[in-house]
Structure 1
Amino acid sequence: MAAISKRCGTFTDSVIRRMTRICQKYNAVNLSQGFPDFDPPRELLERLSQVAYEDYHQYSITWGAANFRQALAEKQSKLMGRKISPEGEIVVTSGSTEAMMAAVLTVTNPGDKVVVFSPFYENYAADAILSGAEPVYVNLIPPSFSFDKDELEEAFRLHPKAIILCNPSNPCGKVFTEDELRYIGDLAVKYDVFVITDEVYEHIVYSPNHHVYMASLPGMWDRTISCGSLSKTYSITGWRLGYVIAPSFIIDNVRKVHDFLTVGAAAPLQEAAVTALNFGNEYYEDLQDKYTHKRDLFLQGLDRIGLKHTVPQGAYYVLVDISEFDYDDDLKFCEDLASVVGVGAVPGSSFFKDGKVKQYIRLHFAKKDETLIEALDRLSSIRDKLKLRK
């Protein structure tokens, strides 16, 4: 029998999605995989119900329906401080997962290096490996998750083809400051490196922090590939609508990669989602208020239980320090947490280079208040239950 591709042995299936299956097995509150348990905006659902009876059931244009691209261009132009062309600077993808994969495939050749900050969203290493590239990791240092400038430049001296920047960051919730982004941008110019940004949490940022788009900084438009998604902003993770925004010379090539990866994103969902892209500023202000409330509710609950944790500046994840439980295997800890305590989490080692950091688990708070309260109630007995288990 012929051998399976060697690349398949260099990464695992998604630990995040695996933990959802474990949550289902034990009927645990799923604070592992980052999707909400509340409804999308009513206006969006109403438009979706109408679209079901309209003529949007065949392929749209491969790189995105014209009205979707127009609405997205108008929205992001305001945010990014430049006029984005819906015809030449946008590709609509099947979620930001495909957007990131298409971006990496577009700019890298086999053997190229890609800089990745650690901790990182688990897909990034797989994206690089599937592209034939080699990840080069640079540490984000707890608890602020700042980076060492010398360490970062040392990585750039290896002449990588690209750096992947998740901002706001999953899993640590870091929001990169403008000064940090300018420093990264200066290195990208100095060493002629592309910047691939994952900005799916662009609208979930906690005061006094604010989101700065790398592509909006002086000299960075021509080398930045901005990837985004509607999943988190509009609570529609299952719709799988993402996008790439970049200069036309990059987009022309992203289109080709995208065409042979997925052909196109779902046409009826694009049509429905135009409604959300046309929301006014009040929607995004309400979204920030909603998640600020959920963050405060959840972190205050963790404080009452006495669990040490990070304080996210953006996104909706928190890293909880499990050092006191003296587990050698954080995956085993998460399995016990789901089966015995009834709460689902993700082992932190899946986010750190080489899987060597095992003192954290990741929880998320994109849930109804009552769901978070139930999870906190279960977590309140964590010490007694896990001690009995061990």
Structure 2
Amino acid sequence: MPSHVVEAVRTAAGQVFPRRSQGSTQLRRAISDHLAATLRLAVDPGTELLVTHGAQHGMSVALRALLKPGDEIIVPAPTYFFDGMMRLAGLHPRYVLSDESRGWDHDPEAIEAAVTPSTRALLICNPNNPTGFVPHRERLEQLLDVAARHGLIVFADESYERYVWDGPGYVPQMLLRERHPDLVTVTSLSKNYSFTSWRVGYVSAPAHLLEQIHRALEWDSINVGDVAQAAAEAVLTGPQEWIEPAFATMRVRRDILVDGLTRAGLKAVRPDAGVFTFVDFTTVGVRGRALENLLLEHGITVIAGDAFAGPGTHARILYGGAVADLAEVGRRLTRLTTQVQRR
């Protein structure tokens, strides 16, 4: 953390704070100002923002607050590990496979075809983890129109908003509120500000939904720790130059990994966002845990696609590491595929 954040933590550690279960007034105002300045998104800090212990906590609380056990929820896949929190809430996820031939684009017609009388919600990951797909504005409009026709709440995890390198660019669903009012967005400061150790994120939703989520959070954790919130306020309002160099190198790192995959004879959609590539390992001949173990034997850590409700023949590889390490991954994958071809 930069010095201004460390200093804010040092100061906050010696203070006593009023108990505000929705989050500190100063932090919610900082979030609102940030959304207005960076995304031209008007959010009322008093009624439309809730501070949480990261995006995962926010999503889990929101699902339990707004849905009831037995409800179905449609999820375009592959997607982040929402399965556990959905099942913890008693929900029944219905996964709809996205189109790999179109860059893992979501299919609104397939999503609408999956709606049943028990369906109550749609959950999207934008930008998508693990594929790096970023839906363009028209696609989001189509998804929200499906939700509006069937009275579905749309939950969106938009934790990788700053990690968009190519494609149509990130469009927050809240910019489309005129199409459908029942939208809930969770966001992670852990991703956007290297804030993993502090566990701070927030939920953005219209007042009629946020009130219910807020009540659920009070019974879940009362409130987020005040020292962590002070750090979050400092990281949002203070200098940004310390983190920009890391983002500036991400596109280069992505291309190094994707080029290495190509030389190894492996297929992968070049991701528009994130820090991950979703690689097709069909030619290797194993899948799931066996694929993970095989790659680990070659010193490469991955998560197989079936963990993301996607094909087990695929796996997610991260490109957030050092350039030299990414080049080494490419060389090791080439050795692996060469061995497979010689069998």
The amino acid that maps onto 2:100 is P
* Aligned-partner Cα distance in 1 for 2:300–2:15: 40
- In 2, are the aligned partners of 1:204 and 1:287 still within 8 Å (CA)? no
Measured after TM superposition, the shift of residue 92 of structure 1 is 0.7
Count of aligned pairs between the two proteins: 341
SS of the aligned residue for 1:126 comes to helix
Supply the AA of the counterpart residue of 1:244: V
The one-letter code of the counterpart of 2:273 is G
Cα distance in 2 for residues equivalent to 1:56 and 1:367:
38
Deviations 1:55-83 (A, max 9, x none): 25778522212211111111113345342
**Alpha-carbon displacement from aligned partner over 1:308-343 (angstroms, at most 9, x marks no partner):** 22211111111111111111x4212212322x2111
What residue is the counterpart of 1:139 in the other structure? 97
Name which of structure 1's ranges 84-93 and 293-302 shifts more when overlaid on structure 2: 293-302
Counterpart of 1:32 in structure 2 is none
Question: Once the two structures are superposed, what CA deviation does each residue of 1:273-328 show, in whole Å capped at 9, x if it has no partner?
Answer: 2222125787887565322122112212222333222211111111111111111x
Query: In structure 2, the residue corresponding to 1:135 is in which secondary structure?
Result: strand
1:343 aligns with 2:343: no
2:263 aligns with 304
C-alpha separation in 2, matches of 1:337 and 1:387: 16
Q: CA deviation at 1:375?
A: 3.2
Per-residue Cα deviation, 1:216-260 (whole angstroms, up to 9, x for no partner): 115246211011011111122232111101111211111111122
Match of 1:256 among 215, 228, 246: 215
Counterparts of residues 27-38 of structure 1 (less than 5 Å):
none
Match in the other structure for 1:15: none
Partners of 1:60 and 1:385 lie apart in 2 by: 61
Q: Residues of 2 paired with 1:94 and 1:218: CA distance?
A: 25
Residue identity (%)? 25
- Cα shift at 1:98: 0.6
Q: Secondary structure at the match of 1:226?
A: strand
**2:30/2:237 contact within 8 Å kept:** yes
**Cα-to-partner distance string for 1:349-370 (whole Å, 9 max, x where unaligned):** 11126xxx22101101112323
Root-mean-square deviation (CA, aligned residues, Å) is 2.5
Contact preservation (8 Å) 1:162, 1:195: yes
- The structure 1 residue matched to 2:317, chosen from 352, 355, 363, is 363
Which of 264, 268, 272 is the equivalent residue of 2:231?
272
Match of 2:197, SS state, is helix
- Out of 62, 71, 79, the residue aligned to residue 21 of structure 2 is 62
* Residues 9 and 231 in structure 2, CA contact (< 8 A), matched pair in contact too: yes
- 1:182 shift after superposition: 0.6
Cα separation, 2, equivalents of 1:291 and 1:219: 34
Once residues 254 and 56 of structure 1 are traced to their aligned partners in structure 2, the CA distance between those partners, rounded to angstroms, is 28
Unpaired stretches in structure 2, ≥5 consecutive residues: none
Distance across 1 between alignment mates of 2:110 and 2:331: 42
8 Å CA contact 1:56–1:267 kept in 2: the answer is no
Match of 1:226 among 162, 171, 185: 185
Q: Does 1:94 align with 2:53?
A: yes
- C-alpha contact (below 8 Å) 2:8/2:230 kept by paired residues: no
Which amino acid in 2 is paired with 1:77? A
The normalised TM-score by structure 2 is 0.90
Q: In the TM superposition, what is the alpha-carbon distance from 1:97 to its structure 2 partner?
A: 0.6
Within-5 A mapping of 1:1-390: 42-43=2-3, 46-54=4-12, 55-56=14-15, 61-122=20-81, 124-143=82-101, 144-158=103-117, 160-220=119-179, 222-278=181-237, 288-327=247-286, 329-338=287-296, 340-352=297-309, 357-383=311-337
Contact 2:145 2:180 in 1 (8 A): no
1:132 alignment partner AA? G
Tell me the CA shift for residue 208 of structure 1. Answer: 3.6
* Higher relative contact order, structure no. (Cα contacts within 8 Å, ≥ 6 residues apart): 1
Report SS of the residue matched to 1:100. Answer: helix
The amino acid that maps onto 1:351 is: F
Between the aligned partners of 2:327 and 2:208, the Cα distance in structure 1 is: 49
Deviation >6 Å, runs of 4+: 280-285, 385-388
Deviation track 1:20-53 (CA, whole Å, cap 9, x = no partner) reads xxxxxxxxxxxxxxxxxxxx5x35xx42255235
Instruction: Report the more deviating stretch, 372-381 or 127-136.
Output: 372-381
Question: 1:102: how far off?
Answer: 1.1
Deviations 1:73-120 (A, max 9, x none): 111133453421212111111111111101111211121111111111
Q: Mean alpha-carbon deviation: is it higher for 83-92 or for 197-206? A: 83-92
Partner of 1:137: helix, strand, or coil? strand
Cα distance in 1 for partners of 2:228, 2:240 equals 22
Q: Is the 8 A contact 1:206 1:292 kept in 2?
A: yes
Q: Is the Cα–Cα contact under 8 Å of residues 197 and 227 in structure 1 kept in the other structure? A: yes
CA distance in 2, matches of 1:177, 1:193: 21
Structure-2 change in CA distance of 1:349 and 1:81 (3 Å): same
In 2, the alpha carbon distance for the partners of 1:170 and 1:104 equals 19
